[in-house]
Amino acid sequence: MNFIFDIGNVLVDYKPMILLSELFSDGLLTGKLYEAVFKSQEWLLMDQGLLTHDEATDIFCNREPSLKSEIRKTMHNVNDIFTPLQGTIDLLPVIKDAGHGLYYLSNIHMEIRDFLLENHSYYSLFDGGVFSCDIQEMKPSPEIYRHLLEKYQLAPESCLFFDDIEKNVTAAEKEGIKSVLFTTADCILPFIP
């Protein structure tokens, strides 16, 4: 069996509002920053690899000049959003030791990809994976699932995919990949012999 993991809210916690609350004490401000940065079209373009971190920061600042310093501070600290979800991380060597393949499939942008790969040693356990920014395709597009399967010559029926977003799970199932809506690491346990 090949286990395929999403990253955000599966391998690492992804909670932008927590970061914003740590950086700024004003609740109204954090709400504005959340909308301006994390809910923007540019955030998705970064995930697609079509916009760099610096280009997006400049766009955010030009769009919201009154929040320029706060936006720059947010973008400077953006990697702090991601903290390992230890329950899932602890299962990776168990899955590997049981002889299963390990892959990741994530919508994520280049700077965050590089940060995670450089700062979290558990990625060395993976046999490979696909980041959306590298192929300009994002879940739930069928192309990203097909790319992973083709790149590593995986039969869809030999794969088990975990993602915290239902539409991504549904899209994987349409490609013949058995999929599980991730809630906690406990949902992985029934699949490890």
**pTM of the full structure:** 0.93
**Does one domain contain both 109 and 186?**
yes
**Does one domain contain both 173 and 102?**
yes
**Does one domain contain both 65 and 105?**
no
Question: Which residue, 81, 110, 131, sits at the end of a domain?
Answer: 81
Res 129: pLDDT: 97
**Does one domain contain both 116 and 60?**
no
**Does one domain contain both 101 and 9?**
yes
Could you tell me the CATH number of the domain that includes residue 93? 3.40.50.1000
Q: Which of 127, 88, 131, 140 is nearest to 111 (CA)?
A: 131
**Does one domain contain both 101 and 179?**
yes
**Does one domain contain both 186 and 97?**
yes
**Does one domain contain both 110 and 138?**
yes
* Residue-number span of the structural domain to which 138 is assigned: 2-13+82-191
**Does one domain contain both 34 and 62?**
yes
**Does one domain contain both 144 and 61?**
no
Question: Which residue, 58, 81, 104, sits at the end of a domain?
Answer: 81
Res 14: pLDDT: 87
How many folded domains does the chain comprise? 2
How far, CA to CA in Å, does 161 sit from each of 10, 84, 182? 11, 19, 9
Res 8: pLDDT: 93
Mean pLDDT per segment of 10 residues, for the chain of length 193 residues?
A: 96 92 92 95 95 96 96 94 93 96 96 92 95 96 98 98 98 98 96 87
**Does one domain contain both 19 and 95?**
no
Question: Which residue, 81, 97, 114, sits at the end of a domain?
Answer: 81
**Does one domain contain both 60 and 86?**
no
Whole-angstrom distance, CA of residue 139 vs CA of residue 68: 31
Res 82: pLDDT: 87
